[in-house]
């Protein structure tokens, strides 16, 4: 077993870390306070090749692997959770389904602009009455004269305001058991009847674009169908498996940031005549944080390695997503405790880490759903 990163992976980490430190981190407080989406940052990331790390060069990608991509998400998320979330959603949810299930024509037309940073990708799955129960999708797509007419509503969709195209899931019929057949469609955002609004006032990841999408008699051609019309449910389950690796990596980034800030503060802060890093109570907190961050990162790398090697990774992705995101919340909470009253203040940033981390336990499958996935993989 070789736990060392390759030279290419180390180069990716160093490049993204430098960019995140110099470009992303200085904006993080402003992005959070003003709930501002940093579109200029994503354009620069596109120029650096970060938006297409795991995709083939023929589609505008870097031809790298999932581990490199997870490393990039961690480094971006360590600097700014909002930017990290939109980055992860762009690659894992907006672009990956086209890469994995699209036709050659769809890849050239829709994937290349996302992978090169010319637009962002967005994935419309969640609905007002279909969250954890994605099978309860109520958006419909009816085939009429070689065109699909789509009606429905999507909520909590990342990046849609800054995307030229959306991937939208919709019910297209019933199977032999009477259950919904769910298909996926590529929908340009400038079509008549499609409305995107971004009015959510969020607790955390405030600089990540979160939208509501309403589709009223939106007409798309038959070739807008993505993949197999009767395999849409399996397709988005597969997409979510991959997305969970990236959200886990984002959790590692926030947890690592919490540890870094806490360690630096503990060494500088003095009470009772000595550095609080000498107090066993603080040392135990830091030790637990360091241990959990390392364990979470190793689980992310394992799930990514399995994916890269075409092995089953559903259970491991759930392990990684569950443990890393809960680690992020615990680490951020401990960071505030170590900082004391200062930790409650915006300028020290650790309070933002906690607000950002909490969403990760909810999005792309709640912690409860991850435990259900794991239990099913165990044969329960």
Residues marked as catalytic? 364
DSSP states along 282-303? HHHHHHHHHHHHHHHHHHHHHH
Residue located via tokens 């051609």: 221
- The 10 Å CB-count burial string (b at 16+, else e) for 116-132 is bbebbbbbbbbbeebbe
Measured CA distances, 123 to 109, 165, 219 (Å): 17, 9, 18
| Measured distance CA(116)–CA(301) in Å, rounded | 25
3-class SS letters over 183-197? EEEEEECCCCCEEEE
Contact 123, 89 (CB under 8 A): yes
Task: Tell whether the torsion through CA atoms of 151, 157, 163 and 166 is positive or negative.
Answer: negative
Which residue, among 321, 354, 322, has the nearest Cα to 335 in the 3D structure? 354
């Amino acid at each position: 077993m070789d736990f060392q990163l390759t030279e290419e992976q180390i180069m990716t980490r160093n490049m993204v870390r430098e960019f995140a430190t110099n470009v992303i981190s200085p904006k993080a407080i402003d992005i959070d306070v003003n709930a501002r989406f940093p579109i200029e940052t994503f354009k620069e990331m596109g120029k650096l090749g970060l938006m297409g790390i795991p995709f083939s060069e023929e589609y505008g990608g870097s031809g790298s692997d999932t581990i490199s991509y997870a490393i990039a998400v961690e480094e971006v998320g360590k600097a700014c959770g909002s930017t990290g979330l939109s980055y992860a959603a762009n690659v894992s949810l907006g672009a990956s389904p086209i890469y994995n299930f699209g036709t050659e024509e769809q890849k050239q037309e829709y994937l290349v602009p996302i992978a090169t940073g010319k637009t962002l990708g967005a994935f419309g799955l969640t609905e007002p009455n279909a969250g954890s129960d994605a099978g309860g999708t109520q958006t419909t797509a009816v085939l009429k004269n070689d065109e699909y007419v789509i009606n429905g509503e999507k909520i909590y969709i990342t990046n849609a305001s800054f995307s030229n195209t959306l991937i939208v899931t919709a019910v297209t019929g019933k199977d032999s058991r009477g259950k919904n057949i769910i298909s996926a469609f590529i929908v340009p955002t400038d079509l008549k009847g499609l409305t995107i609004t971004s009015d959510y006032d969020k607790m955390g990841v405030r600089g990540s674009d979160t939208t509501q999408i309403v589709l009223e008699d939106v007409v798309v051609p038959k070739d807008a169908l993505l993949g197999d019309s009767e395999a849409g449910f399996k397709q988005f389950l597969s997409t979510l498996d991959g997305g969970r690796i990236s959200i886990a990596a984002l959790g590692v980034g926030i947890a690592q940031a919490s540890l870094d800030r806490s360690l630096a503060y503990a060494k500088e802060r003095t009470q009772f005549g000595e550095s609080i890093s000498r107090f066993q109570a603080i040392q135990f907190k830091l030790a637990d944080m360091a241990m959990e961050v390392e364990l979470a990162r190793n689980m992310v790398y394992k799930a990514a390695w399995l994916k890269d090697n075409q092995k089953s990774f559903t259970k491991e992705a759930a392990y990684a997503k569950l443990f890393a995101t809960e680690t992020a919340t615990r680490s951020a909470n401990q960071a505030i405790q170590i900082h004391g009253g200062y930790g409650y203040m915006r300028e020290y940033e650790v309070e933002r880490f906690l607000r950002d981390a909490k969403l990760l336990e909810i999005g792309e499958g709640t912690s409860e759903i991850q435990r259900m996935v794991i239990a099913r993989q165990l044969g329960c």
